[in-house]
Structure 1
Amino acid sequence: MYEDSDERKLRKKGQTEMKHSILSLYLNPWIKKISMVDSNLLFVDGFAGPGRYPDGSQGSPLIAMDMADKMLSTANGIDERLDSFKCIFIEKDPENFEKLKQSVQEKEQVVDDRIDPICRPGKFEDWAVDFTEQYEYGVPPPSLVFIDPFGYGNIPFSLITELFQLRDQSLELLITFMAGKMAQWMEDSGHQKAISEALGSTEWQQRVPPDLGKDERAERFSSIYQEQLKDKADAKFTMPFEMVEESKRQTCYYLIHVTNHWQGLKVMKETMFNAGADDEFAYLGPDHTGYEDDQLSFAEFGETNDFEERVEAFARSLYSTYKGDEIVFQDLLEETLDQNVFKLMHYRSAFQILEAEGKLEVEHRPHKPNGNKSRGYGRDDILKFVNMSLSNFT
């Protein structure tokens, strides 16, 4: 096992580049949207590292500072709305921490003065305990917390729960969940307690049999973790993205986005979709292994060669799920948006397919804020999924 400051451990890999790309792409709309809610925002990097990789490329702390600076200098309205963008960068390895301080100080000289970075030595879990105690009787600023450890130990699920529940909305988590390591070490008695603490449950011992393949075990661990986030931490939406180890083509970890607002989920989905798949990551929805419910799911982001067929299959799945029902488009989104890879435009394409087949009727509600007058699909419009088997007898 390499030390945290060992260059072999710090070497930047393709999956890390993709993870940083996702972070950068998401910070842009997150700052834009959340600055409408509050003028003071917080970004936390719980495992900040040295700030730069051995090849000189920027790590997540500098990426976050650059994106905030870009938004403050170019985005319309944000310059007037945002008073401060506070950053807390946490690093436990002493050698990495000294490098982090230097790289952040250098970056601080060239970015907007409202970007306020604080480098904190020590463990993420110690900061999280202090933070939850600080706001036990108050509300923290809107926050995006990036939790990106090398392993899964020392971050008990109970702490994740306390942290996420500090705000009803506008506190989001982006978690590197090391499901591949769990799958690798689950039969080792020395690791089982740490796995149970990270998941907040021992149920995995019944639900993840060792005779499964490693990727399937990893997927089940991810499923259990997301169930826990929803059941115990009261998270409304979770989105998992599988990150693949390039050399072995095996699941390395999942990048899991956690939010209570559908707009946050919508933006993250668009971020992932626009980043492109290239087989580096995939969305794995709730009807993969580990989930018992028959729900909607597709496994790849991006407009692949068979994407039209996938939208048609999505339309059939929607119809199968809601046949005979009426539902407001917004309610349908909140029920299904974290169960597939599709953006709102793809939902509307699926509706067009169903309408052409006589399987969908739309009640427009122009008097509503998001209702359409005579055509299209507004989020306040009512979708009526026609039961074709019954309509034949009327």
Structure 2
Amino acid sequence: MKTENSFFEEAKEWSCRKMAIVEKYLDGFTKILGNRASSSLVYIDGFAGRGIYGNDIKGSPVRAAELASGKYSNILQCVFVEKDDDNFNDLQQYTTQYYSCVEIYKGELSEYADKILSDAGDRAVLVFLDAFGVKGMGWKTVQKFISRKFITDCWLRLDHRTILRLLGYIDSDSKDARGKLDLLIETFGISDLNLLRQLTDAPSSLERIQKVVKLYQSRLKSCMGQNGFVGSYPIISLDGQKKYHLMFACKNRKAAVLANDIVNTVEDDLPVKQAEYQEHIRFQKTNQPSLLELTPSLEEIFHYKVNGLKQKILELLQSQSDILTIHYELLNQNPDLFGTFRRKHLTKALSELQEEGCIELDGAPSKEITKVYRLK
């Protein structure tokens, strides 16, 4: 059985993509808000790990510390929490050179959440909650960050596979069922097990995963209020396994668009990599090259996404709007679109719709303030 410590022995390719997403967002978050903030910004990594993986790949805390000590010196402060003794000691060692912009707590995030948020004051905060499984991701703790009244953007890892296993204990007579169910209740903040079963029950595993994700999204949105946005993107390995869902929560349209675009920037060529991986596995088994061209080109992927967006835009656009609003509402009203396209796809879709006489633009399709008018 894989343990939390063994997790840090080697950074898997899907973990590297996840870390790239968070790192790029932290860069953009700090670049945008750092120019207008009167005080520093705060990055909180609630499950920081050891800092560097066993195969010498930098983990999320070291990547953040490098930004805070270099590009965003005197702007970005980092707060790391790690409960494991060995991981904590390694994290201290790997971040020693960044001591002026890093603070590390040893223990559970729940122990320090109130202090960390109190110290942050009214500063803008980016939170990364990347627990191994769901332990430590109790709803009461997550809620403290999500419901904060000041600028707070949050990336969360939702381990749907662990949650499905916990749901299996609802009707179990196992002696450890009570502990498993308490963890399930703690994760969702819902004490009614019958309600949890009702909200997550479905005929297939895929549908159950979808319901689990939808339920957690709704919990986050209800906590944030009317302006809350929650995006969810499945992190999938090259062999097609859904490892977990990376979720993003914020209360700002531009933040939602930025997060979406960054996810797509990192993940855009995943279908190509998956096809190449499958061909590699097939060749290892048969020692024969494929006679068919199975790998989609980036151009084919691009046009497929553009064509899909065109119909979505027409369904969304009743009379007139601006491009930023269209970009945001595409995400807000179509949860499955998060991370699947970005600005370049939207720009091309708008340009083609204008050429086809479906819309009229009063400016460049690449500018978010451009007004869009529906003609037919």
TM-score, normalised to structure 2, is 0.79
In the alignment, what sits opposite 1:127? Answer: 112
Shift of 1:66: 1.5
Whether the 8 Å CA contact 1:204–1:221 is kept in 2: the answer is: no
Query: Is 53-62 or 172-181 further displaced after alignment?
Result: 53-62
Question: Residue deviations 1:57-89, cap 9 Å, x none?
Answer: 3222111112333424xxxxxxxxx63422111
Q: Determine what percentage of the aligned residue pairs are the same residue.
A: 19
Structure 2 residue runs of 5 or longer lacking an equivalent are 171-176, 273-296
- Which of 245, 248, 252 is residue 261 of structure 1 equivalent to? 252
Show CA shifts across 1:134-188 (max 9, x none): 37xx94321111111001133222332222222343x111111111221233211
Contact 1:51 1:100 in 2 (8 A): yes
Q: What residue is the counterpart of 2:313 in the other structure?
A: 318
CA 1:97–1:259 in 2, change beyond 3 Å: closer, same or farther? Answer: same
In structure 2, what is the equivalent of residue 200 of structure 1? 189
Q: 1:377 to 1:278 in 2, by over 3 A?
A: closer
Q: Residue 355 of structure 2 aligns to which amino acid in structure 1?
A: A
Equivalent residue number for residue 337 of structure 1: 331
Aligned twin of 1:65: 65
Q: 2:375 matched to which residue of 1?
A: 386
Question: Structure 1 regions of 5+ residues with no counterpart?
Answer: 73-81, 110-114, 282-301, 365-371, 388-394
**Shift of residue 255, structure 1, vs aligned partner:** 1.0
Say if 1:356 and 1:262 are closer, same or farther in 2 by CA, change over 3 A: same
Structure 1 residue 211 displacement after superposition = 3.2
Q: Secondary structure at the match of 1:162?
A: helix
Q: Following the alignment from structure 2 to structure 1, what is the Cα–Cα distance between the partners of residues 8 and 234?
A: 20
Could you tell me the TM-score, scaled by structure 1's length? 0.76
| Distance across 2 between alignment mates of 1:376 and 1:273 | 19
2-structure distance, mates of 1:119, 1:275: 29
Q: Secondary structure at the match of 2:310?
A: helix
Partner-residue secondary structure (3-state), 1:305: helix
Deviations 1:173-227 (A, max 9, x none): 11111112212332113333422332233544213225312x4322321121112
1:27–1:209 CA distance, 2 compared to 1 (3 A): same
Moved more, 351-360 or 89-98: 351-360
> What does the per-residue CA deviation read over 1:232-280, in whole Å, with 9 as the maximum and x for residues that have no partner?
2236222222112556x32221111212122222222222222234448
Count how many residue pairs are aligned between Structure 1 and Structure 2.
335
Q: Of 84, 90, 97, which aligns to 2:88? A: 97
Matches within 5 A, 1:1-394: 1=1, 3-5=3-5, 7=6, 10-38=9-37, 39-72=39-72, 83-105=74-96, 107-108=97-98, 115-132=100-117, 134=118, 139-169=121-151, 171-189=152-170, 190=177, 191-201=180-190, 202=192, 203-209=195-201, 211-213=203-205, 215-234=206-225, 236-245=228-237, 249-279=240-270, 303=298, 305-322=300-317, 324-338=318-332, 339=334, 340=337, 341-362=340-361, 364=362, 372=363, 376=365, 378-387=367-376
1:280 and 1:63 mapped to 2: Cα distance? 27
Displacement of 1:360 in angstroms is 1.4
| Residue pair 2:26, 2:64 contacting (<8 A) in 1 also | yes
Cα–Cα, structure 1 residues 321 and 35, in superposed 2: closer, same or farther, change >3 Å? closer
The 8 Å contact of residues 176 and 256 in structure 1, kept in 2 or not, is answered as: yes
Matched-pair contact (CA < 8 Å) for 1:4–1:10: no
- Mean CA deviation greater in 257-266 or 232-241: 232-241
Task: Tell me the distance in 1 between the aligned counterparts of 2:305 and 2:169.
Answer: 41
AA in 2 matched with 1:162: K
Structure 1 residue 378, shift from structure 2 partner: 4.7
Amino acid corresponding to residue 197 of structure 2 in structure 1: Q
